[in-house]
Amino acid sequence: MAALREVAASAPVQDWSYFATSDAYHEDLKAFIIQAVKDGHDIDEIILNQHWTEVFLAKFDVIIDDEFVADALKDIWVDMADGKTSHAKKYAYFDPNELGNSDGAMVGHYGNVSGSKVITFRKHNASKGLPGSFCDAMLRALSDGSRFFTCEAITASDKRTGWFALAMHNIATSGRTGVVGFLVGNGAVGVGCLDFLNLGAPGSYTVFNVCARDNEKNKKIVADIAPRMKFPLKAVEDHSALRTSGFLITAASGDVPVVATADVPDDCHILSQGRNDLPPDLIKKRIEDPKCLIVGDNFKAMEERDVDPLAKYHSAKGEKLAEVAKKNPDKYLEYASIITNPLAMELLKNWTGTFLFLPVGLFAYDAAVVVKMHATLKANILDIASAQLERLV
């Protein structure tokens, strides 16, 4: 703590490298915060006045891993069904011809919390040695709008998106074995999908094939993550293995279809995690197939965003997705209404057809994870301060 005061007093204003990159700085700041709590300062005020990066949260044992996110989201569908959420989602594109550069905002409420998530994409950052995306979240009390927590949220955002793979499994492949999986895309969301299936459904898959644009990079990524998986992973260079797969996940970046309709078996479940990543003729085929059910988390939000392949298919026909879904309740199902209906869940678990699952992603998912991050942080700070005070007695 003394080191922190000394550096703050003596460091040149233009040189912030100690504060930006130094583990010693984080340790000093942690000690300063703990001491402030021990001195009787308001912990809520202390938390409010810090933007919490993931690195600094980890100093207080706030680790945003798969189990943490799964626990945070365990009641989300029930809460959605009970009307405890609201949402809006907008993106600003700086160049209409370059969708890789954009800023997006998601706002809404979850329970007694309102807030927002801001996510930034920069396509050419990799060449500069910078991350391709940044994400931050802010929480406010729903009752009076007072802000109480801001944090970095890139891992929370990626992992809550990967969690959809487990949600899909729970209605599509739960209890099954011998399933061959196929993943298109090996970024954070794609890997997150595999991690959550590994967490909740490791016995269902005989192999999960992974395909991406850069074959050599794909081989390296698969080799890196394979040891922690309880089912075999295989890096593949084309989509031939897709033709015998039972579960397809599309999680590639970009704004174009990433599979060909002819390569997707009629009995293959599909989870779409990207923008416009399925071809229109595949969407049409699944809509017309009586043995395929279309599942989303919020068709109205998907319609308004109009980048998901299902929404784009209907808008191209001059149709509004939410209206189509309302008129066809036996074909278009919202996940929250399914999971809160035991009879529906039982029927769907015995469904012999396929599912096309297209989650649009809502602020409520992020809020649920960030609320848990805040609660865990507060509890851990108090525990550390209390333990240190006890040692002094």
pLDDT at 106: 94
CATH topology of domain 159-361: Rossmann fold (3.40.50)
Q: In the block, which residue shows the tokens 């001491």?
A: 35
Cα–Cα dist 269/177, whole Å: 14
Overall average pLDDT of the 195-220 stretch:
95
Query: Strand, coil or helix: what is 118?
Result: strand
Q: Which residues have C-beta within 8 Å of that of residue 136, sequence separation ≥ 6?
A: 51, 117, 118, 150, 151, 152, 153
168 neighbors 355 (Cβ within 8 angstroms):
yes
Query: What are the sequence ranges of the domains in the chain?
Result: 42-152+366-392, 159-361
Q: How far is Cα of residue 9 from the mean position of the Cα atoms in its chain?
A: 41
Per the prediction, the chain carries an average pLDDT of 90
Cα–Cα dist 164/190, whole Å: 11
Per-residue pLDDT reduced to its tens digit, 24-51:
889 999 999 999 999 999 999 999 999 9
User: Is residue 21 very low, low, confident or very high in pLDDT (cuts 50, 70, 90)?
Assistant: low
**Alpha carbon distances (Å) from 59 to 50, 157, 386:** 14, 20, 17
pLDDT at 61: 97
Beta strand segments in 153-298, E: 179-184, 205-211, 233-235, 247-250, 269-272, 292-296
**Alpha carbon distances (Å) from 81 to 296, 305, 367:** 13, 21, 16
User: Is residue 6 very low, low, confident or very high in pLDDT (cuts 50, 70, 90)?
Assistant: low
The closest of 374, 354, 344, 387 to 77, measured between CA atoms, is: 344
Q: Tell me: pLDDT of 98 over 80.
A: no
- Rg over CA atoms, the chain: 23
Per-residue pLDDT reduced to its tens digit, 49-91:
999 999 999 999 999 999 999 999 999 999 998 999 999 888 8
pLDDT at 18: 47
Per-residue pLDDT reduced to its tens digit, 279-297:
999 999 999 999 999 999 9
Per-residue pLDDT reduced to its tens digit, 156-199:
999 999 999 999 998 888 888 999 999 999 999 999 999 999 99
CATH number belonging to the domain at 42-152+366-392, selected among 3.30.1780.10, 3.50.30.40, 3.20.20.70, 3.60.9.10: 3.30.1780.10
Total-model pTM: 0.90
Can you state the angle between helices 280-288 and 309-316, rounded to 10 degrees?
90
Cα–Cα dist 240/222, whole Å: 18
Of 18-22, 27-31, 307-311, which gets the smallest average pLDDT?
Answer: 18-22
Tokens of 347: 């029927």
Determine whether 229 is exposed, middle or buried from the number of CB atoms within 10 Å of its CB (0-12, 13-18, 19+): middle
pLDDT at 79: 93
Q: Tell me: pLDDT of 14 over 50.
A: no
Q: Residue 206, CB half-sphere, CA atoms under 13 Å: how many?
A: 9
Beta-bridged to residue 99, according to DSSP, are: none
Query: Strand, coil or helix: what is 381?
Result: helix
Per-residue pLDDT reduced to its tens digit, 311-362:
999 999 999 999 999 999 889 999 888 888 887 777 777 788 999 999 988 9
313 neighbors 257 (Cβ within 8 angstroms):
no
